[in-house]
Structure 1
Amino acid sequence: MVRYRRNRIAGATYFFTVTLRDRRSDLLVREIDALRAAWRVAARRIPHVVIAAVVLPDHLHAVIRMTDATSNYPRLWQDIKKGFTRRVVPAGAPSPWQSRYWERTVRDEEELQALVDYVHINPLKHGLVETVAAWPHSSFHRYVARGWLSREWAADRDVAGRWGER
Protein backbone atom coordinates (compact mmCIF):
# COMPACT_ATOMS: atom_id res chain seq x y z
CA MET A 1 0.00 0.00 0.00
CA VAL A 2 1.26 3.47 -0.85
CA ARG A 3 1.89 5.67 2.16
CA TYR A 4 1.03 9.24 1.32
CA ARG A 5 3.28 11.92 2.72
CA ARG A 6 1.20 14.80 3.95
CA ASN A 7 2.69 18.22 4.63
CA ARG A 8 1.61 18.90 8.21
CA ILE A 9 2.69 22.26 9.61
CA ALA A 10 1.20 23.63 12.82
CA GLY A 11 -0.87 26.72 12.10
CA ALA A 12 -0.64 26.29 8.32
CA THR A 13 -3.45 26.91 5.86
CA TYR A 14 -4.51 24.22 3.40
CA PHE A 15 -6.76 23.88 0.37
CA PHE A 16 -8.77 20.66 0.19
CA THR A 17 -10.91 18.88 -2.37
CA VAL A 18 -12.98 15.99 -1.03
CA THR A 19 -15.19 13.96 -3.37
CA LEU A 20 -17.85 11.30 -3.41
CA ARG A 21 -17.25 7.99 -5.20
CA ASP A 22 -20.23 8.61 -7.44
CA ARG A 23 -19.41 11.86 -9.22
CA ARG A 24 -23.00 12.02 -10.54
CA SER A 25 -24.48 12.07 -7.03
CA ASP A 26 -26.14 15.04 -5.35
CA LEU A 27 -25.81 13.51 -1.87
CA LEU A 28 -23.80 16.35 -0.34
CA VAL A 29 -26.36 19.07 -1.08
CA ARG A 30 -29.33 16.76 -0.51
CA GLU A 31 -27.95 15.91 2.96
CA ILE A 32 -26.32 19.27 3.72
CA ASP A 33 -27.59 19.31 7.31
CA ALA A 34 -25.92 15.95 8.00
CA LEU A 35 -22.66 17.27 6.56
CA ARG A 36 -22.85 20.41 8.72
CA ALA A 37 -23.58 18.34 11.82
CA ALA A 38 -20.67 15.99 11.15
CA TRP A 39 -18.35 18.95 10.58
CA ARG A 40 -19.45 20.63 13.83
CA VAL A 41 -18.69 17.47 15.82
CA ALA A 42 -15.31 17.04 14.11
CA ALA A 43 -14.44 20.69 14.81
CA ARG A 44 -14.78 20.09 18.54
CA ARG A 45 -12.07 17.41 18.31
CA ILE A 46 -9.77 18.98 15.71
CA PRO A 47 -9.52 22.77 16.03
CA HIS A 48 -9.46 24.70 12.78
CA VAL A 49 -10.77 27.82 11.07
CA VAL A 50 -12.72 27.58 7.85
CA ILE A 51 -11.53 30.46 5.71
CA ALA A 52 -13.67 29.51 2.71
CA ALA A 53 -15.76 26.52 1.73
CA VAL A 54 -18.24 25.42 -0.89
CA VAL A 55 -20.30 22.26 -0.99
CA LEU A 56 -21.28 21.05 -4.44
CA PRO A 57 -23.48 18.03 -5.21
CA ASP A 58 -20.62 15.50 -5.42
CA HIS A 59 -17.59 17.24 -3.90
CA LEU A 60 -16.51 20.08 -1.68
CA HIS A 61 -13.63 22.53 -1.54
CA ALA A 62 -12.34 24.14 1.62
CA VAL A 63 -9.57 26.50 2.64
CA ILE A 64 -8.79 25.73 6.27
CA ARG A 65 -6.26 27.04 8.76
CA MET A 66 -5.34 24.35 11.25
CA THR A 67 -5.09 25.66 14.80
CA ASP A 68 -4.01 22.50 16.61
CA ALA A 69 -0.33 21.85 17.35
CA THR A 70 -0.16 18.77 15.12
CA SER A 71 -2.11 20.11 12.13
CA ASN A 72 -4.14 16.93 12.21
CA TYR A 73 -6.26 17.52 9.12
CA PRO A 74 -6.22 13.80 8.20
CA ARG A 75 -8.17 13.17 11.41
CA LEU A 76 -10.46 16.12 10.67
CA TRP A 77 -11.46 14.70 7.29
CA GLN A 78 -11.75 11.19 8.71
CA ASP A 79 -14.15 12.46 11.38
CA ILE A 80 -16.20 14.53 8.92
CA LYS A 81 -16.51 11.68 6.44
CA LYS A 82 -17.37 9.07 9.07
CA GLY A 83 -19.84 11.36 10.82
CA PHE A 84 -21.61 12.17 7.58
CA THR A 85 -21.66 8.53 6.49
CA ARG A 86 -23.18 7.39 9.80
CA ARG A 87 -25.92 9.98 9.41
CA VAL A 88 -26.96 9.20 5.82
CA VAL A 89 -25.91 5.66 4.87
CA PRO A 90 -27.58 2.51 6.25
CA ALA A 91 -25.41 0.42 8.56
CA GLY A 92 -23.20 -1.96 6.60
CA ALA A 93 -23.47 -0.05 3.32
CA PRO A 94 -20.25 1.26 1.77
CA SER A 95 -19.05 4.79 2.37
CA PRO A 96 -20.11 7.27 -0.29
CA TRP A 97 -16.70 9.00 -0.13
CA GLN A 98 -13.65 8.43 -2.24
CA SER A 99 -11.06 7.02 0.13
CA ARG A 100 -8.56 9.81 -0.48
CA TYR A 101 -8.74 13.58 -0.71
CA TRP A 102 -6.51 16.18 -2.25
CA GLU A 103 -4.74 18.81 -0.18
CA ARG A 104 -2.36 21.62 -0.93
CA THR A 105 -0.43 23.79 1.51
CA VAL A 106 -1.09 27.48 0.93
CA ARG A 107 2.24 29.24 0.54
CA ASP A 108 1.41 32.95 0.67
CA GLU A 109 -1.34 35.59 0.74
CA GLU A 110 -1.57 35.79 -3.06
CA GLU A 111 -2.20 32.06 -3.33
CA LEU A 112 -4.65 32.22 -0.42
CA GLN A 113 -6.71 34.88 -2.20
CA ALA A 114 -6.69 32.93 -5.46
CA LEU A 115 -7.88 29.78 -3.68
CA VAL A 116 -10.64 31.61 -1.79
CA ASP A 117 -11.80 33.05 -5.12
CA TYR A 118 -11.66 29.57 -6.66
CA VAL A 119 -13.82 28.17 -3.86
CA HIS A 120 -16.40 30.91 -4.28
CA ILE A 121 -16.52 30.80 -8.09
CA ASN A 122 -16.80 27.01 -8.25
CA PRO A 123 -20.61 26.65 -8.47
CA LEU A 124 -20.59 29.12 -11.35
CA LYS A 125 -17.75 27.30 -13.11
CA HIS A 126 -19.69 24.03 -12.84
CA GLY A 127 -22.76 25.67 -14.35
CA LEU A 128 -24.89 25.11 -11.25
CA VAL A 129 -25.96 28.77 -11.00
CA GLU A 130 -26.01 31.99 -13.01
CA THR A 131 -24.39 34.03 -10.22
CA VAL A 132 -22.14 33.11 -7.31
CA ALA A 133 -24.69 34.58 -4.90
CA ALA A 134 -27.32 32.09 -6.09
CA TRP A 135 -25.47 29.07 -4.63
CA PRO A 136 -26.58 28.57 -1.00
CA HIS A 137 -23.82 26.21 0.22
CA SER A 138 -20.86 28.58 0.20
CA SER A 139 -18.89 30.78 2.55
CA PHE A 140 -19.40 33.47 -0.11
CA HIS A 141 -22.48 34.59 1.83
CA ARG A 142 -20.40 35.14 4.96
CA TYR A 143 -17.97 37.28 2.93
CA VAL A 144 -20.91 39.37 1.63
CA ALA A 145 -22.38 39.76 5.13
CA ARG A 146 -19.04 41.02 6.45
CA GLY A 147 -18.65 43.47 3.56
CA TRP A 148 -15.61 41.70 2.11
CA LEU A 149 -17.33 40.97 -1.23
CA SER A 150 -20.37 42.35 -3.00
CA ARG A 151 -23.32 40.12 -3.96
CA GLU A 152 -22.42 40.88 -7.58
CA TRP A 153 -18.83 39.63 -7.21
CA ALA A 154 -17.66 37.76 -10.34
CA ALA A 155 -20.82 38.67 -12.26
CA ASP A 156 -18.77 40.32 -15.01
CA ARG A 157 -15.63 38.18 -14.81
CA ASP A 158 -14.31 35.57 -17.21
CA VAL A 159 -15.08 32.41 -15.24
CA ALA A 160 -12.94 30.36 -17.61
CA GLY A 161 -9.92 32.17 -16.15
CA ARG A 162 -7.22 30.68 -13.98
CA TRP A 163 -9.11 30.78 -10.66
CA GLY A 164 -7.09 29.16 -7.90
CA GLU A 165 -3.97 28.76 -10.01
CA ARG A 166 -0.84 30.82 -10.31
Structure 2
Amino acid sequence: MSNYRRAYIPGGCYFFTVVTLNRAPLFCSEERVDLIRQALRKTMAQRPFKIDAMVILPEHLHCIWRLPPGDSDYSSRWREIKKSLSRNISTQTNSRNESLVWQRRFWEHAIRDEEDWSRHVDYIHYNPVKHGLTARPVDWPWSSFRRAVTRGWYDASWGNCEPDGIGEIDCE
Protein backbone atom coordinates (compact mmCIF):
# COMPACT_ATOMS: atom_id res chain seq x y z
CA MET A 1 0.00 0.00 0.00
CA SER A 2 1.32 3.40 -0.97
CA ASN A 3 1.78 6.13 1.61
CA TYR A 4 1.84 8.88 -0.99
CA ARG A 5 0.08 12.05 0.14
CA ARG A 6 -1.31 14.61 -2.23
CA ALA A 7 -1.32 18.33 -1.57
CA TYR A 8 -4.91 19.58 -1.60
CA ILE A 9 -4.97 23.39 -1.45
CA PRO A 10 -8.36 25.09 -1.90
CA GLY A 11 -8.18 27.39 -4.92
CA GLY A 12 -4.72 26.00 -5.67
CA CYS A 13 -2.65 26.05 -8.82
CA TYR A 14 -1.18 22.68 -9.83
CA PHE A 15 1.15 21.19 -12.41
CA PHE A 16 0.17 17.67 -13.57
CA THR A 17 1.73 14.85 -15.54
CA VAL A 18 -0.61 12.11 -16.76
CA VAL A 19 0.81 9.08 -18.60
CA THR A 20 -0.71 6.34 -20.74
CA LEU A 21 -0.39 2.72 -19.65
CA ASN A 22 3.06 1.39 -20.54
CA ARG A 23 3.64 4.68 -22.33
CA ALA A 24 1.58 3.54 -25.29
CA PRO A 25 1.55 6.31 -27.94
CA LEU A 26 -2.22 6.78 -27.99
CA PHE A 27 -2.30 10.50 -28.84
CA CYS A 28 -0.66 10.69 -32.25
CA SER A 29 -3.62 12.00 -34.22
CA GLU A 30 -5.90 15.02 -34.21
CA GLU A 31 -8.87 12.71 -33.58
CA ARG A 32 -7.34 11.28 -30.40
CA VAL A 33 -6.21 14.69 -29.15
CA ASP A 34 -9.73 15.95 -29.78
CA LEU A 35 -10.99 13.24 -27.40
CA ILE A 36 -8.81 14.76 -24.68
CA ARG A 37 -10.20 18.21 -25.46
CA GLN A 38 -13.77 16.90 -25.30
CA ALA A 39 -13.15 15.18 -21.96
CA LEU A 40 -11.60 18.34 -20.54
CA ARG A 41 -14.50 20.53 -21.74
CA LYS A 42 -17.08 18.12 -20.34
CA THR A 43 -15.36 17.97 -16.96
CA MET A 44 -14.79 21.74 -16.87
CA ALA A 45 -18.52 22.29 -17.51
CA GLN A 46 -19.40 20.09 -14.53
CA ARG A 47 -16.54 21.00 -12.20
CA PRO A 48 -14.92 24.30 -13.31
CA PHE A 49 -11.19 24.92 -13.41
CA LYS A 50 -8.87 26.92 -15.64
CA ILE A 51 -5.98 25.64 -17.72
CA ASP A 52 -2.99 28.00 -17.77
CA ALA A 53 -0.79 25.83 -20.02
CA MET A 54 -0.95 22.37 -21.58
CA VAL A 55 0.89 20.06 -23.93
CA ILE A 56 -0.28 16.71 -25.25
CA LEU A 57 2.41 14.30 -26.40
CA PRO A 58 1.88 10.81 -27.83
CA GLU A 59 2.12 9.01 -24.46
CA HIS A 60 1.69 11.68 -21.80
CA LEU A 61 0.48 15.17 -21.13
CA HIS A 62 1.44 18.05 -18.86
CA CYS A 63 -0.77 20.90 -17.74
CA ILE A 64 -1.26 23.59 -15.14
CA TRP A 65 -4.69 24.04 -13.62
CA ARG A 66 -6.16 26.70 -11.36
CA LEU A 67 -9.00 25.52 -9.16
CA PRO A 68 -11.85 27.77 -8.01
CA PRO A 69 -11.62 29.38 -4.55
CA GLY A 70 -12.53 26.89 -1.83
CA ASP A 71 -12.14 23.86 -4.14
CA SER A 72 -9.18 21.48 -3.88
CA ASP A 73 -10.60 18.39 -5.59
CA TYR A 74 -8.49 17.86 -8.68
CA SER A 75 -8.47 14.06 -8.18
CA SER A 76 -12.14 13.57 -9.05
CA ARG A 77 -11.70 15.81 -12.09
CA TRP A 78 -8.83 13.64 -13.35
CA ARG A 79 -10.89 10.52 -12.63
CA GLU A 80 -13.71 11.83 -14.83
CA ILE A 81 -11.36 12.92 -17.61
CA LYS A 82 -9.58 9.57 -17.62
CA LYS A 83 -12.88 7.63 -17.55
CA SER A 84 -14.30 9.64 -20.42
CA LEU A 85 -11.21 9.13 -22.56
CA SER A 86 -10.96 5.46 -21.68
CA ARG A 87 -14.52 4.79 -22.82
CA ASN A 88 -13.74 6.39 -26.18
CA ILE A 89 -10.40 4.67 -26.74
CA SER A 90 -10.69 1.11 -25.42
CA THR A 91 -13.17 -1.10 -23.64
CA GLN A 92 -10.51 -3.51 -22.39
CA THR A 93 -10.08 -3.77 -18.63
CA ASN A 94 -7.86 -5.70 -16.23
CA SER A 95 -8.89 -7.99 -13.37
CA ARG A 96 -9.69 -4.92 -11.23
CA ASN A 97 -11.98 -3.59 -13.99
CA GLU A 98 -9.52 -0.76 -14.63
CA SER A 99 -9.12 0.68 -18.10
CA LEU A 100 -6.03 -0.28 -20.06
CA VAL A 101 -5.48 3.27 -21.30
CA TRP A 102 -3.86 5.13 -18.38
CA GLN A 103 -1.28 4.54 -15.71
CA ARG A 104 -3.09 4.21 -12.41
CA ARG A 105 -2.21 7.54 -10.90
CA PHE A 106 -0.96 10.92 -12.01
CA TRP A 107 1.77 13.19 -10.76
CA GLU A 108 0.93 16.59 -9.27
CA HIS A 109 2.96 19.48 -7.97
CA ALA A 110 1.42 22.42 -6.10
CA ILE A 111 2.70 25.62 -7.69
CA ARG A 112 4.33 27.69 -4.96
CA ASP A 113 4.83 31.12 -6.49
CA GLU A 114 5.16 33.04 -9.77
CA GLU A 115 8.71 31.80 -10.40
CA ASP A 116 7.62 28.18 -9.90
CA TRP A 117 4.62 28.76 -12.20
CA SER A 118 6.83 30.33 -14.89
CA ARG A 119 9.35 27.47 -14.79
CA HIS A 120 6.59 24.87 -15.13
CA VAL A 121 4.92 26.76 -17.99
CA ASP A 122 8.31 26.82 -19.75
CA TYR A 123 8.71 23.10 -19.04
CA ILE A 124 5.32 22.37 -20.60
CA HIS A 125 5.98 24.40 -23.72
CA TYR A 126 9.52 23.08 -24.21
CA ASN A 127 8.51 19.42 -23.70
CA PRO A 128 7.95 18.52 -27.40
CA VAL A 129 11.46 19.80 -28.18
CA LYS A 130 12.91 17.92 -25.19
CA HIS A 131 11.41 14.68 -26.51
CA GLY A 132 12.66 15.28 -30.05
CA LEU A 133 9.16 15.62 -31.51
CA THR A 134 9.81 19.05 -33.01
CA ALA A 135 12.66 21.52 -33.32
CA ARG A 136 10.70 24.49 -31.94
CA PRO A 137 7.76 24.75 -29.50
CA VAL A 138 5.78 26.82 -32.02
CA ASP A 139 5.73 23.84 -34.40
CA TRP A 140 4.03 21.39 -32.00
CA PRO A 141 0.29 21.35 -32.79
CA TRP A 142 -1.03 20.12 -29.42
CA SER A 143 0.27 22.75 -27.07
CA SER A 144 -0.90 26.02 -25.57
CA PHE A 145 2.34 27.65 -26.75
CA ARG A 146 0.81 29.60 -29.66
CA ARG A 147 -1.91 30.91 -27.34
CA ALA A 148 0.84 32.00 -24.92
CA VAL A 149 2.59 33.83 -27.77
CA THR A 150 -0.68 35.61 -28.59
CA ARG A 151 -0.97 36.64 -24.92
CA GLY A 152 2.53 38.10 -25.04
CA TRP A 153 4.08 35.53 -22.69
CA TYR A 154 6.62 34.43 -25.31
CA ASP A 155 8.16 35.48 -28.57
CA ALA A 156 7.35 32.93 -31.30
CA SER A 157 11.05 32.06 -31.61
CA TRP A 158 11.34 31.10 -27.91
CA GLY A 159 12.54 27.60 -27.09
CA ASN A 160 15.18 27.02 -29.74
CA CYS A 161 17.41 25.93 -26.85
CA GLU A 162 16.54 24.63 -23.38
CA PRO A 163 15.31 27.47 -21.17
CA ASP A 164 17.10 28.24 -17.91
CA GLY A 165 15.57 26.71 -14.82
CA ILE A 166 13.80 23.69 -16.30
CA GLY A 167 16.73 21.27 -16.30
CA GLU A 168 16.10 20.29 -12.70
CA ILE A 169 12.38 19.65 -13.26
CA ASP A 170 11.84 15.91 -13.78
CA CYS A 171 8.17 15.20 -14.29
CA GLU A 172 8.26 12.40 -16.79
TM-score of the aligned structures, taking structure 2 as reference length: 0.87
How much identity, in percent, do the aligned residues show?
Answer: 40
- Displacement after TM superposition at 1:113 (Å): 0.4
- Displacement after TM superposition at 1:16 (Å): 0.5
Cα 1:83–1:3 change in 2 (3 A) is farther
- Distance (Å, rounded) in 2 between the aligned partners of 1:102 and 1:20: 12
Cα RMSD of the aligned pairs, angstroms, is 1.9
- Displacement after TM superposition at 1:11 (Å): 1.1
Q: Can you give the 5+ residue segments of structure 1 that lack an aligned partner in the other structure?
A: none
Aligned to 1:16: 16
Aligned to 2:166: 163
- Displacement after TM superposition at 1:88 (Å): 1.4
- Distance (Å, rounded) in 1 between the aligned partners of 2:68 and 2:163: 34
- Secondary structure of the residue aligned to 1:18 is strand
Aligned to 1:132: 137
Aligned to 1:77: 78
Native 8 Å contact 1:123 1:132 kept in 2: yes
- Secondary structure of the residue aligned to 2:53 is strand
User: Does residue 36 of structure 2 align to residue 35 of structure 1?
Assistant: yes
- Secondary structure of the residue aligned to 1:80 is helix
- Secondary structure of the residue aligned to 1:127 is coil
AA at the equivalent of 2:16: F
Aligned to 1:153: 158
CA offsets per residue over residues 80-134 of structure 1, 9 Å max, x none?
1001111111365733100011101111111110000000000000000011111
AA at the equivalent of 2:81: I
- Distance (Å, rounded) in 2 between the aligned partners of 1:149 and 1:7: 30
CA offsets per residue over residues 14-52 of structure 1, 9 Å max, x none?
1110001121x2212331111111111111122111011
Native 8 Å contact 1:17 1:102 kept in 2: yes
- Distance (Å, rounded) in 1 between the aligned partners of 2:8 and 2:40: 20
In the comparison of the two structures, how many residue pairs are matched? Answer: 163
- Displacement after TM superposition at 1:150 (Å): 1.6
Cα 1:141–1:160 change in 2 (3 A) is closer
Runs of 4+ in 1 over 6 A off after TM superposition: none
TM-score of the aligned structures, taking structure 1 as reference length: 0.90
Q: Can you give the 5+ residue segments of structure 2 that lack an aligned partner in the other structure?
A: none
AA at the equivalent of 1:58: E
CA offsets per residue over residues 43-65 of structure 1, 9 Å max, x none?
11221110111000000001111
- Distance (Å, rounded) in 1 between the aligned partners of 2:139 and 2:37: 19
